[in-house]
Structure formats: structure tokens, C-alpha cells
Amino acid sequence: MGMDRREYDVVLVPEAEDGYSVFVPDLPSLATQGETVEEALEMARDAIEGYLEIMGDEGWPVAAARDQ
């Protein structure tokens, strides 16, 4: 079985007190944060993976993503 790879745009927002908040416009209510850009992006990958897993387990629709 091949891996289903999807890509979602993320929005990084620098925080006044350091770090970055991350939002995924195509996945409502998904947000995370990290101290560095690299950490924030890694946290976003983990959050997206968990979000998609839960949505799939529940049979809920997921926003279309760009195929890679």
C-alpha cells in the first residue's frame, strides 16, 4: 500500500514574546506553536498528521490538499 502524501499551506505568525504560532487555513481549528521556525513547522507536521488521523477514524470529511 502506498503512502498518501498531502501538503497543506501553513501560516507562521511571529509572537511578541518569542516563538511562532502556526495555523493551517484548510484545516479548521488546527493551530500549534514552536520556539523556532523549524520547531513550529515540525509541530505543524505532527498536528496535521494527528488531525487527519482523527478525521479519518471518525469518518469526517477533510479539506482537499495538494497532492505531492
- State pTM to two decimals: 0.79
Percent share of the chain, pLDDT over 70: 88
User: Which residues, in sequence order, are bridge partners of residue 32?
Assistant: 22
Q: Report the candidate in 34, 32, 28, 26 with the shortest Cα–Cα distance to residue 6.
A: 26
Q: Dump pLDDT digits (tens) for 2-27.
A: 446 778 999 999 999 999 999 999 99
Q: Name the 3-class secondary structure at 20.
A: strand
Residue 34 and residue 43 in contact, taking contact as beta carbons nearer than 8 Å: yes
